Amino acid sequence: MKKALLLSLVGSACFLAGAIVARTDDPKKPLTTDVAEAAARVFGLEFSPAERDSMLSDLTSKRNDYVTIRTVDLTNDVAPALYFNPLPAHFKMPTGPSSFKASAAGVVKLPANRDELAFYTVGQLSELIRTRQVSSEELTRFFLNRLKTYDPKLHCVVTLTEDLALQQARRADAELKAGKYRGPLHGIPYGAKDLLAKKGYKTTWGSVPYKDQVLNLDATVIQRLEDAGAVLCAKLSMGELAMGDVWFGGMTRNPWDIETGSSGSSAGSGSSVSAGLLPFAIGTETLGSIVSPATVNGITGLRPTFGRVSRHGAMALSWSMDKIGPMTRSVEDCALVFNAIYGPDGEDPTVIAAPFQYAPMTSLKGMKIGCLDKPFGSDYANKANDAATLETLRKLGATLVPITLPAFNYGALRLIIGVEGGAAFDELTRNNKDDLMVRQGKNAWPSTFRSARFVPAVEYLQANRIRTKLINEMHEILQKAGVDVYMSPTYAGGNLTLTNLTGHPCVVLPNGFTAKGLPTSITFMGQLFNEGKVLAVAKAYQDATDWHKKHPKL
């Protein structure tokens, strides 16, 4: 046991030593047993004076290795050689070809009051374009005007890509005239969270040190949306380096109450779609950054399975937890957008090839849906609205099966994000550029990235070994319950943290309002790579309600 602790300290004290010299002018200052003792206290270990003394030569050697490693320019796009795999033991991947069947469009007419277009779904707008009741250029100018009108109140736009948008819209109209129709996203305006690169435009990551950064590439997601005919109207605000709703342009506002923030970190994506400034937007999630702004802004969001959507051209915060997904007005809009962006691209090695099979469900009769017993049975803020949601599912014919999540304090594993983020933005910490960031509190990124230097490599690996156990336990729980989909309160019970660690997909959608008139949400969870089933069940519930049809009045 003592040898194991010693090995841990060798790695641990080296992290501490590296942190001590990281921002000094003398990296060759000798290490002492006092440094080793301080490190041991930070890591919760204890060593005798003789044991500490015996480490000094090795600690010094490791520190020299750090100096060598830091001579290499590691930009944010360079991923570690260790890839996270969310697949549990004995997991069977979905088989067969991909298939997509959207709901029948029905008769969609151009409204007499054009302002009503602001809250049409992607599916409705698509039908208007396909039947040439409105042109893509007309629709694009309409949404560009709304972005210009309301962004001064909401602070959701970093860069308006007006020239590009009009160019893409005119191309879409010309193609349609020539008989080339790319599909349901043809000519549809959208916005992208400003951690996705678009050649020729700034990609600021919402942060002061990067506010003039231009990346000479297109993110895969943006490439695929362009191939589908979508029209990029804006790079949207995000909490600085993917935390919260505060960026260098201020705080992005919630359209339901502009005195409050829109949550984050996909702040602009949530705010803009909610306010009818765009039909859909792309967000990302590491630990709630799609789920939370979708909830606060009263829209629908899809967080796909880890390894479903390529992150090429996207800012890395946590290589083992970052995920990209759509934020829209309806569940089926999420399906339409996801259908255009999922799958391998040869650039992101974590993306796994798996079919996406989606078709609306006409009934939930006889369907078994899991239901988290302890969270739903506890006392929490949205209990009444969630209870009504579960009752609606029963009325639709679903059988609710109680399930229990693995027992563990999932929050202890959040150190994974801190360590990976600390590595992704190592240069900020070592060169004092983190001092330029807007938020500087104890829980802000600058402090988190600094403290990440004190996390032992051993503990980081142990945390990921616990993830392996949780992944396998989740698979066993869902298999035993015989469910492909389960329900969870959006926040209560730890499901949000757990499933971001395990990589499971979820759909979050509005299910009511608070006493103050602010939106609430419910979460539909699913088996890995089974977004189609989760979306279909969530759509069946959404079709039985009208919460998604409510919108703020600005």
Q: With respect to residue 487, please indicate whether it lies within any of the assigned structural domains.
A: yes
Spot the catalytic one: 289, 310, 320, 521.
289
Answer whether 187's CB lies under 8 Å from 139's CB: yes
Q: With respect to residue 84, please indicate whether it lies within any of the assigned structural domains.
A: no
pLDDT at site 43: 87
Quote the CA–CA distance of 21 and 200 in Å, as a whole number. 38
Same domain assignment for residues 64 and 113: no
Average pLDDT of the residues in 380-400: 98
pLDDT at site 362: 85
Residues 6+ apart with CB under 8 A from 56: 31, 32, 33, 36
Q: With respect to residue 156, please indicate whether it lies within any of the assigned structural domains.
A: yes
Average pLDDT of the residues in 150-164: 98
pLDDT at site 26: 62
Decide which of 72, 87, 118 is a domain's last residue.
72
Q: Are strands 253-254 and 257-261 parallel, antiparallel or unpaired?
A: antiparallel
Q: What percent of the chain has pLDDT over 90?
A: 90
Q: With respect to residue 94, please indicate whether it lies within any of the assigned structural domains.
A: no
pLDDT at site 28: 72
Answer whether 66's CB lies under 8 Å from 429's CB: no
Quote the CA–CA distance of 321 and 323 in Å, as a whole number. 6
Concerning whether 265 is annotated as a catalytic residue, the answer is yes
Number of domains in the chain: 2
Q: With respect to residue 378, please indicate whether it lies within any of the assigned structural domains.
A: yes
Spot the catalytic one: 193, 235, 533, 539.
193
Quote the CA–CA distance of 41 and 15 in Å, as a whole number. 13
Same domain assignment for residues 166 and 229: yes
pTM for this structure? 0.94
Same domain assignment for residues 170 and 64: no
The pLDDT of residue 514 is above 50: yes
- pLDDT tier for residue 16 given thresholds of 50, 70 and 90: very low
Structure-model confidence comparison of residues 503 and 42, the more confident one? 503
Average pLDDT of the residues in 253-273: 98
Same domain assignment for residues 171 and 236: yes
- pLDDT tier for residue 184 given thresholds of 50, 70 and 90: very high
Q: Which stretch of DSSP H or E encloses residue 375?
A: helix 373-377
The pLDDT of residue 499 is above 90: yes
Average pLDDT of the residues in 82-100: 96
Q: With respect to residue 255, please indicate whether it lies within any of the assigned structural domains.
A: yes
Q: Which amino acid is at 360?
A: P
Q: With respect to residue 98, please indicate whether it lies within any of the assigned structural domains.
A: no
Concerning whether 289 is annotated as a catalytic residue, the answer is yes
Alpha carbon 50 to chain centroid, angstroms:
48
The CATH number covering residue 115 comes to 3.90.1300.10
Average pLDDT of the residues in 533-549: 98
Same domain assignment for residues 4 and 121: no
pLDDT digits (tens, 9 = 90+) for 102-130: 999 899 999 999 999 999 999 999 999 99
The pLDDT of residue 298 is above 50: yes
- pLDDT tier for residue 492 given thresholds of 50, 70 and 90: very high
pLDDT digits (tens, 9 = 90+) for 470-488: 999 999 999 999 999 999 9
pLDDT digits (tens, 9 = 90+) for 19-39: 444 454 466 788 899 888 888
pLDDT at site 36: 87
Tokens coding 514: 């608070």
SS (H, E, C) 236-249: ECCCCCCCCCEECC
Spot the catalytic one: 8, 265, 318, 330.
265
Q: Which stretch of DSSP H or E encloses residue 128?
A: helix 122-130
Domain that holds residue 330: 109-350+361-407+469-549
Same domain assignment for residues 368 and 504: yes
Same domain assignment for residues 171 and 284: yes
Quote the CA–CA distance of 192 and 161 in Å, as a whole number. 11
Same domain assignment for residues 276 and 150: yes
Same domain assignment for residues 52 and 146: no
Q: What percent of the chain has pLDDT over 70?
A: 95
CA dihedral 387, 393, 397, 403 (to 10 degrees): -70
Decide which of 72, 101, 125 is a domain's last residue.
72
* 3-state class (DSSP) for residue 257: strand
Tokens coding 242: 């993917």
Tokens coding 275: 């306010």
Decide which of 72, 100, 130 is a domain's last residue.
72
The pLDDT of residue 18 is above 70: no
Same domain assignment for residues 218 and 272: yes
pLDDT digits (tens, 9 = 90+) for 195-254: 999 999 999 999 999 999 999 999 999 999 999 999 999 999 999 999 999 999 999 999
The pLDDT of residue 6 is above 90: no
Same domain assignment for residues 182 and 68: no
Q: With respect to residue 49, please indicate whether it lies within any of the assigned structural domains.
A: yes
Same domain assignment for residues 539 and 492: yes
